[in-house]
């Protein structure tokens, strides 16, 4: 900078050398007054010529007309003093001279700290733009997250164009309504930066279009799923849970979940991953879908230790089921039939006894008969009468239908019917007096059926048995139970039912550990444990257990020192991840119904 700024003209006392020009040999020389009139001018005593001190440093060598190289005043000395005024005027009016002056001024401002360098200016402008864009998009993201968390549809009849805080003529959707409310609240709170950023931005950075909304929703999904998968991979061993259902458009949706033991909070988690639409429902295709989806999610297959599905042939088939095809590639992924489904099948099989089956059908017929407007009126009238005149204390108000698939609901239906039986009998006794022969005949038929000894004995048996299985059915649907706890509770129920049946407790013995069992276990999980030391480690662990009161696998994990019993700890962790039921994927079916409704399906 110093060199450029110190280019000055000569002092007034300097004697410029004369140069002879023309035939008359005129002695002409550089004039000192030119330096006052033209601040850009400088004189070189070495070259005895004039230069433009700006163009020397900043002019492009090919900035002349038609990209010709620059010459005098720029890269060569000007010495034709006779033509000085014309040359100087022409030079001052040239574009490259003007550009050189601008570049010098920019350089001078930066060098003297009056202006930031252009790269810093660009960085600052970018940061300002980035901050401004964040103020525009943050309210958009938070609004979308609130809507999605609450299951609220985003778009309305008119959801395009610039956003303003005035009330719209036409409904512009929940998203724009909530976004405007967000901006109003921040302004009322004294922070108008979000609103000002939006008002001063261009129409192409509103971030309110349907495409942007979908991209934000997709980004949120990917972030959440990535965190879930990272947590699963961090804890190593996991099991996959899956079930399928049809959505409102009759598309088969595969619900995928993962079960794992968290080493930090020491709890078992069953976490939903995603819905996957499927068309081919064969076991091989569904198995490949699971593998492809988990691979895409970057889940570590070498730690897959369990599979939990229902008993459908496509899922549980020994040769052509999903579990069989997955075990071809990942043999350690043990298949566990959903315990809740197993319980339902067992109860369903028990209910196939003729007397029990007939009683259940009679209960279904009574519900259908009393579920008509006339039947509901009579039932409600008699129910209110019972509550007023007797010690009838039931808080229930109506009968419940026997659900054909969910046995948990059947338990509740039997409880309600058992409580309401006196009310039903009283109701039928009045309805058989109706003049309508069809109604009175049906009432008489049902009244006769529920007053038989066979029906009442069957009802009492169903009611008593369901008292035991109801809690078990509910318990098996919990997320944080393990197979050890599930089997213990099943054993307790079986023992109790045997006691009711025979009058004494039938104790089902559990096999203790033996050397062969330990050997088989170590061979199966040879990739996870050290086979040479597992037998000794299990013996030490068994001795350690005698001092403790262990009721579940979680208790065992909590009391297992990972450093002292590393192989036992891994086996316990794998055991904790083995699925008990496939209820978690089924729970997501109700979520699917909320997401893909009739209205949303009709608009695509």
Distances (CA, A) of 391 to 385, 397, 422: 11, 16, 12
Separation between Cα atoms, residue 16 and residue 43, nearest integer Å: 9
Continuous segment of H or E residues that includes residue 573 = helix 566-577
Separation between Cα atoms, residue 98 and residue 92, nearest integer Å: 7
- What are the beta bridge partners of residue 278? 252
The domain spans of the chain are 2-111, 124-208, 217-338+582-592, 352-477, 515-577
SS (H, E, C) 435-473: CCHHHHHHHHHHHHHHCCHHHHHHHHHHHHHHHHHHHHH
* CB proximity list for 431: less than 8 A, separation 6 or greater: 375, 378, 439, 440, 443
Q: In what order do the strands lie in the sheet with 334-337?
A: 267-278, 252-262, 238-246, 304-309, 334-337
Length of the chain in terms of residues written: 604
| DSSP code for 509 | P
Query: For the segment 536-576, what is each residue's pLDDT rounded down to a tens digit?
Result: 778 777 777 777 778 788 888 888 878 768 888 888 888 88
CA 229 to chain centre: 11
- Using 50 as the pLDDT threshold, list the residues of the chain that sit under it: 1-8, 504-513, 603-604
pLDDT at residue 498, rounded to an integer: 76
CA 88 to chain centre: 72
Helix, strand, coil shares of the chain, percent, nearest 5, are 55, 10, 35
Q: What tokens appear for 145 in the block?
A: 């997250």
Q: What tokens appear for 161 in the block?
A: 């164009």
Separation between Cα atoms, residue 416 and residue 462, nearest integer Å: 13
Structure pTM? 0.61
Separation between Cα atoms, residue 550 and residue 538, nearest integer Å: 15
Angle, CA 347 vertex, CA 344 and CA 353 arms, to 5°: 145
Burial of 33 (0-12, 13-18, 19+ CB in 10 A): exposed
Q: Measuring CA to CA, which residue among 491, 490, 468, 465 is closest to residue 340?
A: 490
Q: Measuring CA to CA, which residue among 568, 505, 498, 581 is closest to residue 535?
A: 568
E-only strand ranges, 196-266: 238-246, 252-262
CA 429 to chain centre: 57
Alpha helices in 333-406 (DSSP H): 339-350, 354-370, 373-389
Q: Is 273 helix (H, G, I), strand (E, B) or coil?
A: strand
Continuous segment of H or E residues that includes residue 278 = strand 267-278
Decide: 194 and 135 in contact? Cβ < 8 Å: yes
Q: Measuring CA to CA, which residue among 468, 486, 474 is closest to residue 552?
A: 486
Decide: 14 and 67 in contact? Cβ < 8 Å: no
Separation between Cα atoms, residue 271 and residue 514, nearest integer Å: 35
Decide: 558 and 552 in contact? Cβ < 8 Å: no
Q: How many CB atoms lie within 10 A of CB 243?
A: 24
CA 445 to chain centre: 55
Q: Measuring CA to CA, which residue among 488, 493, 584 is closest to residue 242?
A: 584
What does the CA dihedral 399, 403, 409, 410 come to, rounded to 10 degrees? 80
Query: For the segment 383-432, what is each residue's pLDDT rounded down to a tens digit?
Result: 888 877 766 666 677 888 887 666 667 778 888 898 888 889 989 998 98
Distances (CA, A) of 404 to 131, 344, 411, 464, 587: 58, 11, 12, 20, 17
Decide: 500 and 463 in contact? Cβ < 8 Å: no
Q: Measuring CA to CA, which residue among 188, 247, 157 is closest to residue 601?
A: 247
| DSSP code for 203 | G
CATH code for the structural domain at 217-338+582-592: 3.30.420
Decide: 283 and 324 in contact? Cβ < 8 Å: yes
Decide: 588 and 257 in contact? Cβ < 8 Å: yes
* CA-derived radius of gyration, the chain: 43
Decide: 47 and 35 in contact? Cβ < 8 Å: no
């Amino acid at each position: 900078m110093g060199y450029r700024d110190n280019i000055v003209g000569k002092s007034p006392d300097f004697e410029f050398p004369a140069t002879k020009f023309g035939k008359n040999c005129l002695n002409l020389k550089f004039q000192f007054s030119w330096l006052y009139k033209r601040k850009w001018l400088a004189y070189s005593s070495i070259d005895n010529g004039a230069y433009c001190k700006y163009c020397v440093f900043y002019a492009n060598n090919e900035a002349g007309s038609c990209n010709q190289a620059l010459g005098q005043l720029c890269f060569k000395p000007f010495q034709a003093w006779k033509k000085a005024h014309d040359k100087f005027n022409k030079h001052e009016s040239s574009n490259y001279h003007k550009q050189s002056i601008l570049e010098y001024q920019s350089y001078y401002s930066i060098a003297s700290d009056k202006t930031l360098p252009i790269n810093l200016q660009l960085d600052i402008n970018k940061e300002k733009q980035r901050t401004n864009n964040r103020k525009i998009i943050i309210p958009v993201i938070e609004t979308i997250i609130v809507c999605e968390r609450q299951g609220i549809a985003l778009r309305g009849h008119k959801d395009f164009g610039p956003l303003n805080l005035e009330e719209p003529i036409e409904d512009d959707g929940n998203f724009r309504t909530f976004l405007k409310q967000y901006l109003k609240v921040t302004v009322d709170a004294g922070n108008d930066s979000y609103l000002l950023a939006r008002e001063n931005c261009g129409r192409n950075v509103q971030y309110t279009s349907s495409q942007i909304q979908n991209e934000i929703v997709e980004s949120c999904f990917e972030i959440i799923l990535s965190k879930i998968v990272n947590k699963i991979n961090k804890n190593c061993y996991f099991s996959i849970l899956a079930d399928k259902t049809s959505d409102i458009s009759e598309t088969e949706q595969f619900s995928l979940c993962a079960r794992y033991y968290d080493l930090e909070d020491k709890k078992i988690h069953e976490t939903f991953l995603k819905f996957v639409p499927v068309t081919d429902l064969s076991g091989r295709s569904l198995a490949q879908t699971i593998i492809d989806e988990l691979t895409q999610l970057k889940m570590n297959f070498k730690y897959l230790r369990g599979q939990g599905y229902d008993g459908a042939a496509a899922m549980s088939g020994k040769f052509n089921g999903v579990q069989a095809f997955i075990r071809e590639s990942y043999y350690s992924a043990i298949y566990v039939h959903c315990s809740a489904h197993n319980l339902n099948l067992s109860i369903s099989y028990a209910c196939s006894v003729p007397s029990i089956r007939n009683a259940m059908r009679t209960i279904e017929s009574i519900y259908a008969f009393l579920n008509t407007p006339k039947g509901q009126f009579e039932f409600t009238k008699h129910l209110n009468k019972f509550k007023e005149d007797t010690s009838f204390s039931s808080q229930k108000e109506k009968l419940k239908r026997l659900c054909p698939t969910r046995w948990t609901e059947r338990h509740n239906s039997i409880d309600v019917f058992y409580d309401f039986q006196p009310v039903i009998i009283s109701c039928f006794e009045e309805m058989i007096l109706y003049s309508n022969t069809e109604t009175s005949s049906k009432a008489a038929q049902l009244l006769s059926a529920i007053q038989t000894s066979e029906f009442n004995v069957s009802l009492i048996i169903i009611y008593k048995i369901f008292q035991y299985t109801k809690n078990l059915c509910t318990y098996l649907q919990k997320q944080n139970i393990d197979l050890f706890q599930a089997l213990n509770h099943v054993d307790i129920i079986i023992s109790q039912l045997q006691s009711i049946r025979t009058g004494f407790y039938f104790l089902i013995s559990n096999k203790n550990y033996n050397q062969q069992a330990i050997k088989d276990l170590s061979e199966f999980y040879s990739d996870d444990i050290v086979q040479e030391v597992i037998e000794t480690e299990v013996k030490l662990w068994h001795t350690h257990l005698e001092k403790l009161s262990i009721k579940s696998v979680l208790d065992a994990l909590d009391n297992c020192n990972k450093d002292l019993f590393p192989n036992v700890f891994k086996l316990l962790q794998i055991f904790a991840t083995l699925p008990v039921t496939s209820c978690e994927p089924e729970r997501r079916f109700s979520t699917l119904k909320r997401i893909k409704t009739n209205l949303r399906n009709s608009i695509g």
